[in-house]
Amino acid sequence: MSDMAALASHVQADALGLAAPLLEIDDVTVQYKTDQYLVTAAHQVSFKVYPSDRYVLFGPSGCGKSTLLKAVGGYVRPTQGTIRLKGREILEPGPDRMMVFQEFDQLLPWKTVRQNIEFALEASGRLKGPQVVERAAHYLDKVGLSAFQDSYPHMLSGGMKQRVSIARGMAMEPDVLLMDEPFAALDVQARRKMQDELLRLWDDTHFTVMFVTHSIEEAIRIGTRILLLSPHPGQVKAELNSVPRDDEQAESRARLEARINEMLFTFEDAAT
Ligand code: ADP
Ligand code: MG
């Protein structure tokens, strides 16, 4: 299924009332309370994520992207509103939602690459013995790290560590993979390569991913849909369909980028 076909099938299914959303974020407000202050990180945010979406949360730093992703992960409870996965309210973290973070130190340093993935699979109780070994090997191969399965994290580059984290997340075969600026700490070239790899992995299995970024270019490259959040406190400014990745669409991509840029400036005007 191409990007375009995926998009068209949503729109069609939506119109017919057939597609069940995988995730429903309904009127979610998240506040952080400390002794001294109350911060509203996200304000009355609603959106839906459908199966096989590459759903991007995009907005300036501090607009609540990570907060919303953590709320979907079950690590942060909404102050108001509900988040449902396959119709069931999310109340806590679970193996049906795996997170990949920006930091390179998400792996257990005393375990090898392979053991890091196997450990996660065993801990979830989803698989046993040979199934664990087989599943880990399968996903290590998918991210091109079979040759490094016995290496320890400190022996790997930042990009390779992120690949292991992605393999670990994908190996759990979650309903949705949650990625919080996973490539932000990489240099431009490595970042580009990882973006391509993620898209290649998606072409393979069409997994559902929620991806946080504050880079317009990355949002357009990665996303099938882009939720544009206004600056602090994060509110939905717009929800946009991205543009297919093929070369003929370069002009449409540039147009979308210009449009998003324009919207960003509109926020700034509103804030001053
Ligand atoms: P983003 O990921 O878009 O940069 P965040 O979700 O990290 O934004 O943060 C949104 C707002 O909530 C910011 O003002 C931030 O300072 C605040 N915030 C985030 N986490 C906490 C926390 N644990 N305690 C208090 N305030 C927080
Ligand atoms: Mg963040």
Contacts by 129-138, CB closer than 8 A, 24 or more apart: 135/171, 136/167, 136/171, 138/171
- Do 182 and 222 form a contact (C-beta atoms < 8 A)? no
Ligand 1 site, residue 43, Cβ cutoff 6 A: no
In a domain, 258, yes or no: no
| 202 in the same domain as 184 | yes
In a domain, 253, yes or no: no
| 75 in the same domain as 18 | yes
Closest ligand to Cα 29: 1
Q: Tell me the C-alpha distance between 123 and 93, whole Å.
A: 14
- Do 21 and 29 form a contact (C-beta atoms < 8 A)? no
Ligand 1 site, residue 143, Cβ cutoff 6 A: no
- Coil/strand/helix, residue 271: helix
| 12 in the same domain as 92 | yes
| 92 in the same domain as 180 | yes
In a domain, 157, yes or no: yes
- The domain boundary residue, chosen from 173, 198, 231: 173
Q: In the structure encoding, which two tokens stand for residue 104, read together?
A: 């390179």
- Do 120 and 172 form a contact (C-beta atoms < 8 A)? yes
Ligand 1 site, residue 66, Cβ cutoff 6 A: yes
Ligand 1 site, residue 64, Cβ cutoff 6 A: yes
Ligand 1 site, residue 63, Cβ cutoff 6 A: yes
Give the pLDDT confidence of 9-58 residue by residue, as tens digits: 666 655 555 679 999 999 999 999 988 999 999 999 999 999 999 999 99
Distance from the alpha carbon of residue 17 to the mean position of ligand 2, in angstroms: 34
| Nearest Cα to Cα of residue 158 among 193, 210, 200 | 193
Q: Mean pLDDT for the chain?
A: 91
| 81 in the same domain as 24 | yes
Give the pLDDT confidence of 102-149 residue by residue, as tens digits: 998 999 999 999 999 999 999 988 899 999 999 999 999 999 999 999
Ligand 1 site, residue 232, Cβ cutoff 6 A: yes
Residue 13: per-residue pLDDT: 59
| 23 in the same domain as 136 | no
| 181 in the same domain as 91 | yes
In a domain, 126, yes or no: yes
Domain containing residue 234: CATH number: 3.40.50.300
Distance from the alpha carbon of residue 66 to the mean position of ligand 1, in angstroms: 7
Residue 267: per-residue pLDDT: 62
Q: Tell me the C-alpha distance between 19 and 11, whole Å.
A: 9
Cα 171 from chain centre: 15
In testing the pocket of ligand 1, which one of 35, 43, 57, 67 has its CB within 8 Å of the most ligand atoms?
67
Band the pLDDT of 248: cuts 50, 70, 90.
Answer: confident
| 135 in the same domain as 31 | no
In a domain, 116, yes or no: yes
In a domain, 68, yes or no: yes
Distance from the alpha carbon of residue 214 to the mean position of ligand 2, in angstroms: 8
Could you tell me the residue range of the domain that residue 188 belongs to? 3-96+175-244
In a domain, 262, yes or no: no
Strand partners for 238: 228
- The domain boundary residue, chosen from 173, 196, 219: 173
More confident residue, 69 or 12: 69
This model's pTM is above 0.75: yes
How close are the terminal C-alpha atoms of the chain, in Å?
45
| 137 in the same domain as 92 | no
Residue 272: per-residue pLDDT: 47
Residues with CB under 5 A from ligand 2 (ion): 66
Q: Tell me the C-alpha distance between 138 and 130, whole Å.
A: 12
Strand partners for 33: 38
Closest ligand to Cα 41: 1
| 73 in the same domain as 28 | yes
Q: Tell me the C-alpha distance between 68 and 122, whole Å.
A: 28
Number of independent structural domains in the chain? 2
| 90 in the same domain as 202 | yes
Give the pLDDT confidence of 152-187 residue by residue, as tens digits: 999 999 999 999 999 999 999 999 999 999 999 999
DSSP 72-126: HHTSS--SEEEEEETTEEP-S--TTEEEE-S-S--S-TTS-HHHHHHHHHHHHTS
| 51 in the same domain as 132 | no
In a domain, 32, yes or no: yes
